[in-house]
């Protein structure tokens, strides 16, 4: 950071925890705190950066954790800082401390629903890479918080300095699209055998034309009941799910093959390239060509 500015200005990063004992992350990395939360409360803090924690439960879900003692310290420290930011699921700690009430915020896509359910006073938007609401900033996934960091640099030192830092890190200053480009929206979330059979049927036959009537006949239910089942189990209509599945398949082709857009559109059931492009803009806020350039395997 300092080498990208014209003077010695920069950031001093200090790690704080409840004690000075090493903190072991869920990935097994040991982090050594510089000072305790109590010691930090006696210092002038410009930016409070709050990470989060998760655990894997017996159903392979990964809920975010909020330790009451840590939440209390976050509330205390945030009261005397210029701004507070969260990394990934750290948004859950900010929310539990009451710092996000009445504000729009983001978190990692995998815990966004949990954040919305546990904190109805927070307007959760799972797509943006990061969100700024006054002096509160929230970032999505870990890598997305590199984008947030660049935004903080731009806010403090200007766009020109942030651009120099981005170039040094070989990053976009502002990457296209939102975090839906990185999520896996079709992961198994249903506990009903009927809906799982439907999902597998759709996946196997994405290149074919699907209708609500045809899917209802496959599931031996009425069209109205089919729509109710999809909304209850997957939170979306059958048509929205089918388009999401087709976009997911198209993403895989774009990342791993040299197939033309025409062939991908046909193989995934879009029919035409225009339909494929519209679906990508609607779902991912980008185009198939831009997506391929960004995520193609083996490209630098």
- Best CA proximity match to 90, nearest among 110, 65, 109, 114: 65
Q: How far apart are CA 227 and CA 233, in angstroms?
A: 10
**Measured between alpha carbons, how far is 179 from 107 in angstroms, rounded to an integer?**
10
88, 129, 140, 265: the catalytic one is: 88
Q: Judging by beta carbons within 10 Å of its beta carbon (0-12, 13-18, 19+), is residue 201 exposed, middle or buried?
A: middle
Supply φ then ψ for residue 2, to 5 degrees.
-65, -35
Q: Is 88 a catalytic residue?
A: yes
C-alpha to C-alpha distance for 157 and 152, rounded to whole angstroms: 8
Here the tokens at position 116 are 């919305």
With 0-12 / 13-18 / 19 or more C-beta atoms within 10 angstroms meaning exposed / middle / buried, residue 188 is: exposed
Distance in angstroms (rounded) separating the CA atoms of residues 215 and 229: 12
Q: What is the distance of C-alpha 25 from the center of its chain?
A: 20
DSSP 181: G
Coil, helix or strand at residue 237? coil
Catalogue the active-site residues. Answer: 88
């Amino acid at each position: 950071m300092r080498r990208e500015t014209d003077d010695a200005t920069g950031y001093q990063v200090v790690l704080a925890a409840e004690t000075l004992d090493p903190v072991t992350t869920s990935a097994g990395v040991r982090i050594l705190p510089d000072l305790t939360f109590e010691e930090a409360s006696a210092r002038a803090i410009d930016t409070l950066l709050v990470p989060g924690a998760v655990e894997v439960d017996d159903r392979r879900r990964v809920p975010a954790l909020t330790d009451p003692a840590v939440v209390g310290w976050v509330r205390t420290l945030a009261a005397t800082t210029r701004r507070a930011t969260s990394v990934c699921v750290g948004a859950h700690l900010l929310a539990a401390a009451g710092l996000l009430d009445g504000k729009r915020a983001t978190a990692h896509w995998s815990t966004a629903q949990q954040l919305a359910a546990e904190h109805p006073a927070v307007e959760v938007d799972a797509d943006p890479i990061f969100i700024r609401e006054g002096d509160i900033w929230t970032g999505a996934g870990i890598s997305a918080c590199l984008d947030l960091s660049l935004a903080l640099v731009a806010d403090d030192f200007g766009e020109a300095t942030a651009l120099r830092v981005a170039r040094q890190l070989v990053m976009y200053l502002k990457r296209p699209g939102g975090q839906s480009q990185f999520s896996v929206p079709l992961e198994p979330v249903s506990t009903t055998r009927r809906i799982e059979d439907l999902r597998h049927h759709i996946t196997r036959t994405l290149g074919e034309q699907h209708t609500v009537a045809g899917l209802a006949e496959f599931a031996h239910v009425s069209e109205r009941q089919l729509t109710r089942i999809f909304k209850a189990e997957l939170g979306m209509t059958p048509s929205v799910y089918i388009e999401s599945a087709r976009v997911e398949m198209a993403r895989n082709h774009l990342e791993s093959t040299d197939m033309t857009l025409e062939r991908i559109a046909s193989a995934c059931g879009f029919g035409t390239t225009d339909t494929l492009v519209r679906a990508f803009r609607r779902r991912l806020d980008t185009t198939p060509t831009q997506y391929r350039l960004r995520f193609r395997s083996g490209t630098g």
